[in-house]
Structures are given as structure tokens and as C-alpha cells.
Chain A
């Protein structure tokens, strides 16, 4: 059952993105920003957490999940003091960002762009 929810919720979030791509003139960076910020704000309002409980990776793998991790880290940190509230978001997402930066750099060193046929 948890696989079913992961599939449905994850797919549904992607459909929202597809509708944004097809019906608006939003460029890719804007869509990414909208999703992450929306995820963070919904988490702040306590709306996203139940979705994560229900769908697990279905809600954490799409980009709002990144916003969720950022906001969740900050909110958890807030329990330990002001400094932890400020740094919590970055701390909780550090693994993903660090991997993306380092591995991304390595990939860029190795590969070259190809012309499209």
C-alpha cells in the first residue's frame, strides 16, 4: 500500500508540474523555484507533513520534498535555539546538495555537451 501511495502522490505532483509547463510560459528555473518554495511554505503551515507520512518518498522525492526538508530542518532546529533555527534547513539538506555539487562538478569535467539530432 505504501508503494501505491508513493506512486499516486509522486505522480500527481509531477502532473501539477506538467500542467504548469504546458499552460504557462514559466521557464524551467522558475518552475523549480516555485516547487521548492511551495513545499517549504506548505511544510511551515503544517500541510505537507501529513502528505509525507502518507506517501513517504512520493512526497519527498519531488522538489516540494526538498522544500519540505529545508523547512522541516529549520523547524526542528528552532526547538534547539535561534542559531539552529537558522542553520537547520541547510544542515538537513546538506548531503543532497553536497553530492549534487561535487558529483556534478566531476561529471562536467568528464563529459562534453552533444549536438542534438
Chain B
């Protein structure tokens, strides 16, 4: 039998796994780190710039900065969800990667995508439950941390 395999078989399991993983690496193409990062940078940056532009426009119309910010968030979320529904978002993110996943658009997408997917399982346990299958952990962890931070700052004030 293969000498490589025999060699692998005589070692403890963890070491075999490690060695095999190393061996596999030489056959695995690497992601295009630079071009992926560049695309993410450009698209992500552009989304943030566009958000700022909309925010400034809203402030000019007389909204407070805080509510303008909230409106911008809502606009971005709705836009991302609409694109997800139209089946375009995953095409964009295939190109832009983290450029659209890391902005709030990615969060919006991660709510709608599973909800659409499980539509046939009903409006309650399908859409209702699956809206939170990816976003749920984000909200749970985010809100928990915010409560802890709130309590700490309450006692430190």
C-alpha cells in the first residue's frame, strides 16, 4: 500500500489529521487574497460614501443627525433585502465579498435569505422562525453585550 498512507496509519489520529491537512494544502488553490480585498475595499467604501451622501441630504432637509442616521440604516436594509428577493444580492456578493457582507446590507441579506428559502414551510415556522436563523445569533450576542456594557457603565458613572 501507499507508503504515505502506511506512515499516516501508524501515528495517533490527531497527528494523522494534521499531516493529511498539510498534504491536502498543496492541492488546494488559494483564494485571490489581494483582488478579493481590493474589491471588498472599493465596494464597501462606496456603500459607506453613498450612505454618508444620503445622510447629508436628509440633514439638509432638516432632520436631526440621529434620525437621519436611522433613516440611512433603514434605507440600506430595505435595499439589500429587495435585492436579495430579486436574486441579485448573492451575485453582487460573489463579486464584492465582504464589501457587501460586512456593511449592514449583509445583516439584512442574512435575514431574508433563509426566510425566502423556508417559505414553503409556512408563514410561522418557515418565514417567521428562519428570519432569525442567522440574524438571531447576531442579535442575541449584540444585545447581550450591550446590556452588559450598559450595566457596567451604570455602576461606573
Verify whether A and B have any Cβ pair under 8 Å.
Answer: yes
A interface residues (Cβ-Cβ under 8 A, vs B): 2-3, 6-23, 28-29, 31-33, 35-37, 40-41, 43-44, 55-58, 60-63, 65-67, 70-71, 73-75, 77-79, 81-82, 84-86, 88-90, 95-97, 99-101, 103-105, 107-114, 116
Closest CB in chain B relative to A11 CB, distance in Å:
3
With A and B bound together, what is the CA distance between A23 and B28 in angstroms?
13
Alpha-carbon gap, A23 to B157, bound state (A): 41
Other contacts beyond A40-B149, A62-B103: 10, CB < 8 A? A36-B142, A37-B145, A61-B76, A67-B146, A85-B151, A88-B150, A107-B115, A109-B123, A113-B87, A114-B87
Q: Shortest CB–CB separation between residue A102 and chain B, in angstroms? A: 10
7 contacts between A and B (CB under 8 A): A14-B40, A14-B43, A22-B36, A33-B137, A57-B49, A63-B107, A88-B146
Whether A18 and B147, one on each chain, are in contact in the complex, defined by CB atoms closer than 8 angstroms, is: no
Instruction: Say yes or no: A86-B151 contact (C-beta < 8 A), given A40-B145, A95-B73, A96-B73.
Output: yes
A41, chain B: closest CB distance, angstroms: 7
Chain A nearest CB: distance from B24 CB in Å?
Answer: 13
Interface residues of B (CB under 8 A from A): 31, 33, 36-37, 39-49, 51-53, 55, 69-70, 72-74, 76-78, 81-82, 84-87, 90, 97-99, 101-104, 106-108, 110-112, 115-117, 119, 123, 127-128, 131, 134-135, 137-139, 141-143, 145-147, 149-154, 157
Question: How many angstroms between the C-alpha atoms of A20 and B101 in the bound complex?
Answer: 12
Asked if A33 meets B138 with Cβ closer than 8 Å, knowing A22-B33, A61-B47, A73-B146, the reply is: yes
